[in-house]
Amino acid sequence: MKVLVIGLGGVTNGGKTTLAKRLRKQLPNCSILAQDDFFKPESEVEVDEHGFKQYDVLDALYMEEMVTSIRSWMKNPTGSSVSTTESKSTPVNLKSTEEVHILIVEGFLLYNYEPLNEVWDRRYFLTIPYEECKRRRSTRVYQPADGPGYFDGHVWPMYLKHKTEMEENTNNIVYLDGTKSEEDLFSYVYNDIMRELEAWKK
């Protein structure tokens, strides 16, 4: 049995969750783990000098627990608590991949945490421009809600900071344009993963 761990990172509201769910429906034995499920409670999240809750940093997350969950899945994908949905349809050329299990890890801060760097088989990173990101973010409801100036004062600056760090320290990341259609993004990543699976079979 082989396991494939795929990172689907990127900017807030870049389309990570939507893409991950589409991939899960079409890929064999595919599970999703969401970084958002590892946020610390609000009372444990620090506040900066401007009064902004520091959610967009590694310290706001239980990262060790996240690594443990991923490694637990890698050892025993069928017995893991990570959510799994059976593929709606398995392509004919994938009938022999029942022994392959795929985990898609989606989140906004995947490639800046050193202990995670050795688990990835493929790494994707969704980007969208500032204006589009701000527009999409304004249509979402968060708990706790974004306060006035939160996007410009915390969310976007932290995204730029972590993206720069990632680019300086990490290789082999496939950048995806989040302004493209859902269909285009899905098609590109799905075909890329299929090529990876086919290479394994040879």
**Catalytic site positions:** 36
Give residues with Cβ within 8 angstroms of 147, minimum separation 6. Answer: 51, 52
Listed in sequence order, the DSSP H helices in 15-140 are 16-26, 63-75, 130-138
| Separation in Å, CA 164 to CA 8, 14, 108, 157, 169 | 17, 17, 14, 11, 9
Q: Bridge partners of 10?
A: 126
Residues 189, 106 contacting (CB under 8 angstroms): no
Residues 5, 168 contacting (CB under 8 angstroms): no
Return the structure tokens found at 163. Answer: 């993206």
Q: Cα separation of 148 and 58, whole Å? A: 23
Residues 170, 117 contacting (CB under 8 angstroms): yes
Listed in sequence order, the DSSP H helices in 27-175 are 63-75, 130-138, 150, 156-169
